[in-house]
Amino acid sequence: MSILIKNGRIVTAADDYIADIYIENEKIKTIGHDLPFQADQIINADNKIIFPGGIDPHVHLEMPFKETFSSDNYETGTRAALFGGTTTVIDFITQKKEKSLFSALEEWKGRSTGNTLSDYAFHMSVTDFNENTRGEIRDLIEKEGITSFKIFMAYRGSLMVDDRQIAGLMDEVKKYGGIVSAHATNGDLIDYLVAKNKAEGRLSPLYHYLSQPEITEAEATGRFVDIALQSGIKPYVVHLSCEGALNRVRNATVRNQKIFAETCIQYLILDASVYNRGFESAKWVMSPPVREKKDQTALWSGIEQGLIHTVASDHCPFTWEQKMMGEKDFSKIPNGAAGIENRMELLFSEGVAKNRITLNQYVELTATNAARIFGMYPQKGTIAVGSDADLVVFDPGEKHVLSAKTHHMNCDYSEYEGMEITGKCKTVLLRGKMAIDKNKIWVEKGYGKFIKRNIPE
Ligand code: URP
Ligand code: ZN
Ligand code: ZN
Question: What is the enclosing helix (H) or strand (E) of 413?
Answer: none
> What is the predicted pLDDT for the residue at 366?
99
Question: Is 228 in the same domain as 286?
Answer: yes
CATH of the domain at 10: 2.30.40.10
Smallest-distance ligand from the CA of 335: 1
Among 56, 59, 60, say which to mutate for ligand 1: greatest number of ligand atoms within 8 Å of CB. 60
153 CA from centroid of ligand 2 (Å): 9
Residues with CB under 5 A from ligand 2 (ion): 183
| Same domain? 70 vs 38 | no
Residue with CA closest to ligand 1 atom 9: 314
pLDDT score, position 166: 98
- In angstroms, what is the span from residue 323 Cα to ligand 1's centroid? 14
CATH number for the domain harbouring residue 164: 3.20.20.140
The amino acid present at 256, given as its one-letter code, is: N
Residue identifier of the C-alpha nearest atom 3 of ligand 1: 287
Identify the domain containing residue 7 by its residue range.
3-51+387-397+420-441
What count of Cα atoms within 13 Å lies in the side-chain half-sphere of residue 44? 1
What are the φ/ψ torsions at residue 337 (nearest 5 degrees)? Answer: -145, 165
Which residues form ligand 1's pocket by a CB distance below 6 Å?
60, 183, 239, 286-287, 314, 316, 335-336
Residue with CA closest to ligand 1 atom 7: 287
Q: Is residue 340 part of a domain?
A: yes
Q: DSSP E strands: which ranges in 33-67?
A: 41-44, 49-52, 54-59, 64-65
Domain match, 75 and 95 both: yes
**Residue 66 pLDDT:** 85
Domain contains 406: no
Cα distance between residue 239 and residue 58, in whole Å: 8
Locate the ligand 1 atom nearest the alpha carbon of residue 238 and give its number.
9
Q: pLDDT per residue over 280-320, tens digit each?
A: 999 999 999 999 999 999 999 999 999 999 999 999 999 99
Distance of CA 359 to the CA centre of its chain: 19
Residues 46, 123, single domain; the answer is: no
Q: 149 and 126, same structural domain?
A: yes
Among all ligands shown, which has an atom nearest to the Cα of 185?
2
Question: Do 231 and 92 share a structural domain?
Answer: yes
Answer yes or no: do 78 and 20 share one domain: no
Cβ pair 425, 419 in contact under 8 A: no
The ligand 1 atom nearest the CA atom of 286: 1
Q: Do 42 and 123 lie in a common domain? A: no
> What pLDDT sits at residue 237?
98
Count how many residues are written for the chain.
457
For a pocket test of ligand 1, which of 153, 287, 333 has the largest count of ligand atoms closer than 8 A to its C-beta?
A: 287
Specify the pLDDT at position 186: 98
Measured in whole angstroms, how far is the alpha carbon of residue 287 from the centre of its chain? 14
The residue among 155, 205, 230, 217 whose CA lies nearest residue 320 is: 205
What's the gap in Å between 336 CA and the centre of ligand 1? 5
Instruction: Supply the pLDDT for residue 67.
Output: 87
Ligand nearest to the CA of 70: 1
Query: What pLDDT is recorded for position 456?
Result: 83
Distance CA 200, CA 192 (A): 12
Examine residue 236 and state whether it is found in any structural domain, yes or no. yes
Residue among 59, 291, 316, 415 whose CB has most ligand 1 atoms within 8 A, to mutate:
316
Same-domain pairing of 69 and 119: yes
Q: Are residues 126 and 237 in the same domain?
A: yes
What's the confidence (pLDDT) of residue 354?
98
Residues of the chain with pLDDT under 70: none
Note whether 342 and 226 are same-domain residues.
yes
- Whether 263 and 238 have beta carbons less than 8 Å apart is answered as no
pTM for the predicted model, two decimal places: 0.98
